[in-house]
Amino acid sequence: MKILYFHGFASSGATGTAENLRHMLPECEVISPDIPLEPTEALPFLRQLCAEVQPDLIIGTSMGGMYAQQMFGYRKICVNPAFNMSTMSKVFKVGEHAFLNRRKDNQKTFKVTRDLIQSFNRMERQQFKGITDFDRENTYGLFGIHDTTVNTYDLFKKYYANASRFDGEHQLNEKALRTAVVPLVRQILGL
């Protein structure tokens, strides 16, 4: 079984969440790419990767959950999806920032510009276009009840029925993975 994991903003494919998923789901191959910063690059890159890998499941957290939702035609879990990146002023601030994890291109910092924020805003206005009946049935949302960063439960429910809350915060820790994410993965994949 192949799982594609999409990391959150300022992170990389080397995130500890992907490593934990590999340990907790040894029967699955977990592929975790570095996502380009610019959405006009990220979406085509992720869609092409899905076409090449043909994952059995996509898991995305935060920004990665927002991108996962847009991978129409695949089973997916969106964990604390950040559907409103362009308005997340607590996190998405103009200026130079450090990546949280090592990236394959060895970039250590990135810049958030007004143009980047506008690019996210344009993409966000289109992100729910193209949902099919398959997507409505095979897209799951997990929302941490202690998440103070993102609150998109109601927006998710507007498009999808499979939404539930878990005892956790915005960033996933080992307990949240073990008690919420991994059981849902096993259920979806029949493991």
Give me 89's structure tokens. Answer: 């002023």
pLDDT for residue 89: 65
CATH 3.40.50.1820 describes domain 2-189: yes
Give the span between the Cα atoms of 190 and 187, in whole angstroms: 5
Give the span between the Cα atoms of 172 and 24, in whole angstroms: 14
110-116, long-range: CB < 8 A, 24+ apart: 110/10, 110/37, 116/37, 116/38
Give the span between the Cα atoms of 187 and 97, in whole angstroms: 38
SS3 for 141? Answer: strand
In this prediction the pTM is: 0.95
Give me 23's structure tokens. Answer: 């340990």
Per-residue pLDDT of the chain in tens (191 residues, 90 and over written 9): 999 999 999 999 999 999 999 999 999 999 999 999 999 999 999 999 999 999 999 999 999 999 999 999 999 999 999 999 998 767 788 999 989 889 999 999 999 999 999 999 999 999 999 999 999 999 999 999 999 999 999 999 999 999 999 999 998 999 999 999 999 999 999 99
pLDDT for residue 91: 72
Q: What is the DSSP string of 63-117?
A: HHHHHHHT-TTS-EEEES--TTGGG-TTT--SEEEE-SS--TT---EEEE-HHHH
pLDDT for residue 88: 78
Q: Which of 68, 66, 78 is nearest to 142 (CA)?
A: 78
Question: Going by C-beta distance under 8 Å and a sequence separation of 6 or more, which residues neighbour residue 182?
Answer: 21, 24, 25
